[in-house]
Amino acid sequence: MSHVAFTHYNAVRALKLGMERAGSTAGDKVMAALDGMALGTATGPLTFSRGYAIMPMYVARATRGRFEVVRKYEAVSPGTSCG
């Protein structure tokens, strides 16, 4: 399983939780419900702030059908230049 697959799974899971928390499927209400939400995931903590998903990122190398993590970057909150 790759990081890309995990991030898609995390996105669907967060959307589900956001809709449940909002009690609605309306985009603006779900976005508001996601703000400040934090999820524990297989790839590390996933939090939401001002419409941005914040999570650790990885650089990996594929070798002989396996992924080797070369470097992990800790999550960085969106700065004032985002948005």
Q: Does residue 28 sit within a domain?
A: yes
Q: Does residue 53 sit within a domain?
A: yes
The 10s digit of each residue's pLDDT in 43-69 is 788 999 888 888 888 888 888 888 888
Q: Does residue 37 sit within a domain?
A: yes
Helix, strand, coil tally for the chain in percent (to 5): 35, 35, 35
Strand order in the sheet with 38-41: 38-41, 44-49, 52-54
Q: Does residue 63 sit within a domain?
A: yes
Contacts of 81 (CB under 8 A, 6+ apart): none
Q: Does residue 79 sit within a domain?
A: no
Number of domains in the chain: 1
Residue 7 structural domain:
3-73
Q: What is the pLDDT of residue 1?
A: 54
The 10s digit of each residue's pLDDT in 3-30 is 677 788 888 999 999 999 999 999 999 9
Q: Does residue 8 sit within a domain?
A: yes
Q: What is the pLDDT of residue 16?
A: 96
Q: How many CB atoms lie within 10 A of CB 25?
A: 10
Q: How many CB atoms lie within 10 A of CB 57?
A: 14
Average the pLDDT over 27-37 and give the result.
95
Q: pTM for the complete prediction? A: 0.72
Q: Does residue 78 sit within a domain?
A: no
